[in-house]
Amino acid sequence: MGELDRSARILVAGSGGLVGSAVVRALRGAGFTDVVGARSAQVDLRDASAAREFVAGVDPVAVVDAAARVGGIAANAARPVEFLHDNLRIQANLLDAAAGAGAGRFLFLGSSCIYPKFAEQPIREDSLLTGPLEATNDAYAVAKIAGIMGVQSYRREYGLPWVSAMPTNLYGPGDNFDLESSHVLPALMRKFHEATVRGDARVTVWGTGTPRREFLHVDDLAAACVHLLDVYDDPSPINVGTGEDVTIAELAALVARTVGFTGEIVYDTSRPDGTPRKVLDVSRITATGWKPRIGLAEGLASTYRWYLDNYVSGEGATA
């Protein structure tokens, strides 16, 4: 397949989000000179005709699909219809539009939630479709599985070197810090920050604190995307992660130290834990020559600096 020409036009769908903005940064940092972003304000990818018209106008050589409706446990549980339907539409429309525009390469970004709730740990790519999903985000997971099947179908029918990557839990600059819709790490960071500002004696964390999770800085994922565009051509999705996990309690303590919170951490066991453990087997991607570079402590510190500079000091300020 060969390394992608650095002058080739690359379309990054979802370029305004956590992942998409990082992918744009990584592509430009890797020497790509013609990177085009697609934000939801520019084009509604849920609209098939709008998606086809936009992508045809861009005429990309390659497409990175980082566009999605995403959220944490609370958001997924409250709005499964939106998480299912919006993601199905975005994916199908973008795949169709990219094929119509003659894009030679397509990188679909899924999620580690595609794997069964009780998959053998660390989770290998061949665990897909071998058991029931975690109920708190099954609608989103099914949509992402459909995206993988979409990529595989285009490969089979049209012989295109299109691929899928499954990132683990992500965090970093540009994350969503809304307490109702965010994932666990940014929610904890905001909770501990606001508690510190108010001088609270304690912070309550959802669940038991015992589930184990893996966290990857979004800039590491973005670097992996550039790497995969150059080297990967296989119908199987490929995992992207660190291969290491921590308990939610360990994560909460680390976030508290990062923020400077010195009070008590208590757990609301009436709230759902989600999947007991989720850590990816990353042997396939590491065999291609990629590995993460940003440790969790370092990544949390830089993310907190971004939060202070861009959220607390800006429109999202609450404390």
pLDDT, tens digit, 9 for 90 and up, residues 109-141? 999 999 999 999 999 999 999 999 999 889 999
Whole-angstrom distance, CA of residue 68 vs CA of residue 84: 10
Whole-number percent of the chain with pLDDT over 90: 87
Would 249 be classed as within a structural domain? no
What per-residue string of b and e applies to 119-156 under the rule 16 or more CB within 10 Å gives b?
A: bebbbbbebbeeeebbebbbbbbbbbbbbbebbbebbe
Check residue 178 and give its pLDDT. Answer: 87
Q: Give domain status of residue 102, yes or no.
A: yes
Looking at residue 275, its pLDDT comes to 78
pLDDT at 152 over 80: yes
Q: What are phi and psi of 280, to 5 degrees?
A: -90, 145
For residue 273, say whether it is annotated as part of any ligand binding site: yes
Q: Consult the annotation and say whether 112 binds a ligand.
A: yes
Residue of 115, 140, 154, 171 marked catalytic: 140
For the record, the structure tokens of 294 come out as 């940003």
In a domain, 163, yes or no: yes
Does residue 187 have a pLDDT over 60?
yes
Q: What is the largest CA-CA distance in the chain?
A: 60
Residue 88 pLDDT more than 50? yes
pLDDT score, position 319: 36
* pLDDT of the residue at 182: 82
Q: Is residue 91 part of a domain?
A: yes
Q: Check whether 31 is labelled as a binding-site residue.
A: no
Residue 159 reports pLDDT greater than 60:
yes
Tens digit of pLDDT for each residue in 264-283? 999 999 998 877 899 999 99
| CA–CA separation, 216 and 243 (whole Å) | 9
Task: Look at residue 2 in the predicted model and tell me its pLDDT.
Answer: 81
Q: Are 234 and 121 in contact (CB under 8 A)?
A: no
Answer whether residue 13 is part of any domain: yes
Averaged pLDDT, 197-202: 97
- Answer yes or no: is 280 a known binding residue: no
Contacts of 160 (CB under 8 A, 6+ apart): 99, 104, 105, 106, 154
CATH number at residue 99: 3.40.50.720
**pLDDT value, residue 139:** 96
- Is 306 annotated in some ligand binding site? no
| 278 located within any domain | no
Is residue 191 a contact partner of residue 263, using CB atoms and an 8 Å limit? no
For residue 68, what pLDDT is reported? 94
Average pLDDT over residues 197-209: 96
Does any domain span residue 164? yes
- 20 assigned binding-site residue: yes
Quick one: pLDDT at residue 75?
79
Question: Does 318 score more than 70 pLDDT?
Answer: no
Q: Are 273 and 207 in contact (CB under 8 A)?
A: yes
Q: Do 110 and 166 touch, CB atoms closer than 8 A? A: yes
Q: Which pLDDT value is given to residue 216? A: 98
Query: Residue range 156-169: average pLDDT?
Result: 97
Amino acid at 56: A
Q: Which domain holds residue 37?
A: 9-171+216-240
Instruction: Supply the pLDDT for residue 120.
Output: 97
In a domain, 126, yes or no: yes
The Cα angle at residue 224 between residues 252 and 58, in degrees rounded to 5: 115
pTM of the model: 0.94
In the numeric block, the tokens 């525009």 are attached to 101
Which string of DSSP letters, residue by residue, matches 171-215?
E-TT----TTTS-HHHHHHHHHHHHHHHT-SEEEEES-S--EE-E
Check whether 316 is labelled as a binding-site residue. no
Strands 246-247 and 212-213: antiparallel
pLDDT of residue 314: 58
Bridge partners (DSSP) of residue 247 are 212
The answer on pLDDT for 315 being more than 60 is: no
Active site annotation includes 304: no
Mean pLDDT of the chain: 94
Residue of 13, 10, 31 whose CA lies nearest to 21: 13
- What is the spatial distance between Cα 181 and Cα 16, in angstroms, rounded to a whole number? 17
Check whether 110 is labelled as a binding-site residue: yes
**How many structural domains does the chain have?**
1
